[in-house]
């Protein structure tokens, strides 16, 4: 009686079951959102990186400032935040559209007793193929109950759009950004305005913004 063939079949069957289980976990993570771009990004190795100096700001009101660093990694734009011990605890990529992108302004605001926000003004860069186009965008970095673990980054609206088309057609939109209580709930909101165009952004906690 030949026992080798059944033994080999059992080994092959077990191996197939392991592979199927791995595939199942992969697709479950993929469709649930667990397998995100950030997990792929952690494995990426950059050829060159440059960083700004540390910019100190107290985000949680404990009188010990956190530190911001804006970085370029192979042309990608990143915001890195360090705690009072200069340990990195938050890092996110900002989406650029062209050359000369980068953060050019930040401002910190208390929205109310529970929430605060750091407004990040990001120059998305410019393109100059046939037509010239330059844009800048606002990012919302929210904090709940002065707890830095609740920090969330949300991509907001454009605050600058400069465009020059063929035949010298030129257009410029420079939006004004205000922080005020728009709905009377005791929490201030973000208002972005250009001429008769107004966009309101209301924060509801846990990184969630409402855009009526």
- 3-class DSSP string for 40-77: HHHCCCCCCEEECCCEEECCCCCCCCEEEEEEEECCEE
pLDDT digits (tens, 9 = 90+) for 119-147: 999 999 999 888 899 999 999 999 999 99
* pLDDT at 86 > cutoff 90: yes
How sure is the predictor about 43, in pLDDT bands with cuts at 50, 70 and 90? low
The H-or-E segment that residue 189 falls in is strand 189-194
Closest by CA position to 191, among listed 111, 96, 95? 111
How sure is the predictor about 212, in pLDDT bands with cuts at 50, 70 and 90? confident
């Amino acid at each position: 009686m030949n026992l080798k063939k059944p033994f080999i079949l059992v080994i092959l069957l077990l191996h197939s079951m392991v592979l199927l289980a791995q595939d199942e976990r992969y697709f479950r993570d993929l469709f649930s959102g667990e397998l995100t771009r950030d997990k792929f990004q952690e494995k990426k190795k950059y050829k060159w990186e440059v960083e700004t100096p540390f910019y100190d700001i107290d985000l949680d009101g404990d009188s010990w400032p956190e530190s911001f660093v804006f970085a370029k990694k192979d042309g990608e734009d990143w915001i890195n935040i360090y705690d009072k011990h200069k340990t990195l605890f938050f890092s996110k990529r900002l989406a650029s559209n062209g050359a000369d992108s980068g953060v050019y302004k930040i401002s910190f605001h208390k929205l109310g007793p529970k929430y605060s926000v750091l407004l990040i003004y990001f120059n998305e860069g410019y393109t100059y193929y046939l037509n010239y186009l330059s844009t800048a965008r606002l990012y919302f970095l929210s904090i709940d109950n002065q707890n830095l673990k609740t920090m969330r980054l949300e991509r907001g609206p454009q605050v600058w759009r400069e465009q020059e088309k063929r035949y010298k057609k030129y257009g410029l939109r420079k939006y004004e950004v205000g922080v005020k209580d728009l709905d009377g709930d005791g929490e201030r909101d973000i208002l972005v305005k250009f001429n008769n165009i107004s966009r309101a952004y209301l924060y509801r906690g846990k990184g969630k913004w409402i855009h009526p």
